[in-house]
Structures are given as C-alpha cells and as structure tokens.
C-alpha cells in the first residue's frame, strides 16, 4: 500500500491529506495511461474482487531469518506488537511446526467480520483493507483509507464506463 503508517513512521508525521492523495493518484493514472503503463493500488482494482485482502488470513507462509513463520510480511520479529496474531509457528530441525488452530483462526480477518464494511459499495474491491493496518488502528481501517479507496474505486468504475 502506498500510504500506511507503521512503526516510527506512525508517530509525529503530518497526517495524510486524502483529497490531495486522490487528486495526485488520478493525475498519475492518466499520465501512466498515455504511456500504456498499468498503474494500480491495492484495494482499488475493480477487476479483482475478494472477501479478504491478502494471505495474512492464513495462506501466507513467510519464514523469518530466525525461523519463525508469519502470515504477514510486516510481522517478522517475535517482539512485534502483532506477533501474537500473525506468527503461527516455526521452522526447526524437526521441520515446519505450525499451530493449525491459530492459523485457522486468522480466517476471521475477512470482510464479513467487519460490520461497518457491509454497506460500503466498494467492499468486494477493498475487501476490508489490510488486516495489519486494521489491527494497528483498533480493528477499524483509518478514515483516510476508506475515503481514498471509495473515491478511487468510483473513479475506476467511471473510467471503465467511459472506455466502453
């Protein structure tokens, strides 16, 4: 994602201006199109609909240098605040040891678990947003995410309608 506050980057930075982001993103899309370049942003690709945002819901298998298994590419250390959620096992001399119960519980991070997403017209494109972001912001995507996603999805729909 091009805009996602994380770690030290989440503290003391100027808040994102959603409208400025949308305006500049749309300008970039138009320029990319002139050069036949496909420019897209996670959560706004209208040809990719889903009920979950990414494989962090239990299908990713990311092995850290220390041999831990994570389903989120941002959670790569045992002392990460979300390690207890996304670290599901380890690799050692015995092989892959996965806590299957914990891994299967991650399925709850899908779109249908988030009530406030249900009326959203962009829900199957956004799929409820990045689970890591969601959990970092009190189990709700930041408002700027929703504003940006809805506007860009709407832009993509109009652009497709005009093309056709």
Residues that bind ligand SF4 (CB under 6 A): 53-54, 56, 72-74, 116-117, 120, 122-123, 126, 128-132, 141, 146, 149-150
* Least gap, CB of 28 to ligand SF4 (angstroms): 20
* Least gap, CB of 104 to ligand SF4 (angstroms): 17
Query: By C-beta, is 90 or 114 nearer to ligand SF4?
Result: 114
* Least gap, CB of 34 to ligand SF4 (angstroms): 28
Query: By C-beta, is 33 or 131 nearer to ligand SF4?
Result: 131
The torsion region of residue 158 among left (phi > 0), alpha (psi -120 to 50) and beta comes to alpha
Contacts 24+ apart (CB under 8 A), 17-24: 18/144, 18/147, 18/148, 18/151, 21/144, 21/148, 22/147, 22/148, 22/151, 22/152, 22/155
- Which residues contact residue 103 at a Cβ distance below 8 angstroms, ignoring those fewer than 6 apart? 58, 71, 88, 89
* Least gap, CB of 122 to ligand SF4 (angstroms): 5
* Least gap, CB of 27 to ligand SF4 (angstroms): 22
Query: By C-beta, is 52 or 90 nearer to ligand SF4?
Result: 52
Query: By C-beta, is 31 or 51 nearer to ligand SF4?
Result: 51
Question: Cα-flanking dihedrals φ and ψ of residue 149, to 5°?
Answer: -60, -50
Query: By C-beta, is 50 or 98 nearer to ligand SF4?
Result: 50
Strand order in the sheet with 62-63: 62-63, 68-70, 87-92, 95-98
């Amino acid at each position: 994602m091009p805009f996602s506050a994380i770690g030290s980057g989440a503290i003391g930075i100027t808040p994102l201006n959603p409208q400025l982001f949308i305006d500049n993103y749309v300008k970039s899309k138009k320029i990319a199109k002139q050069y036949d370049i496909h420019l897209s942003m996670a959560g706004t690709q209208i040809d990719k609909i889903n009920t979950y945002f990414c494989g962090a819901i239990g299908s990713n298998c990311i092995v850290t240098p220390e041999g831990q298994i994570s389903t989120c590419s941002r959670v790569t250390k045992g002392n990460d605040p979300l390690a207890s959620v996304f670290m599901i096992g380890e690799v050692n001399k015995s092989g892959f040891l996965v806590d299957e119960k914990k891994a299967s519980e991650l399925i709850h991070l899908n779109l249908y678990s988030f009530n406030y997403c249900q009326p959203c017209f962009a829900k199957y494109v956004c799929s409820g947003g990045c689970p890591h972001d969601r959990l970092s912001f009190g189990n709700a995507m930041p408002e700027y995410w929703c504003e940006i996603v809805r506007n860009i999805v709407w832009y993509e729909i109009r652009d497709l309608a005009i093309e056709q």
